[in-house]
Amino acid sequence: MSSLTCWRRLAGWNEAGVRDRLHVVLQPKLRAAKQDALKAAQAEVLSQRTGSRNSFAA
């Protein structure tokens, strides 16, 4: 696929509102994932500070 074809498709999707709809759908999911990652990181730091061996299992 040529770069010109990619740009045309992107322009078409933008005109159709695809990007705006994706933003509405994905933003809450990304925020939730970010919060989950922050909570996991905080728990890991806390467990390292307290010397706990109960970190998250993979």
- Residue 17 and residue 41: Cα distance in Å, rounded? 36
Give the CA dihedral 34, 24, 19, 16, nearest 10 degrees. 170
**DSSP, res 52:** -
The whole-model pTM stands at 0.50
Residuewise pLDDT in 10s, the chain (58 residues): 899 999 999 999 999 999 999 999 999 999 999 999 999 999 999 888 887 555 555 4
In contact, 55 and 47? CB cutoff 8 Å? yes
Q: Domain residue spans in the chain?
A: 25-50
- pLDDT for the residue 13: 95
In contact, 13 and 19? CB cutoff 8 Å? yes
In contact, 32 and 25? CB cutoff 8 Å? no
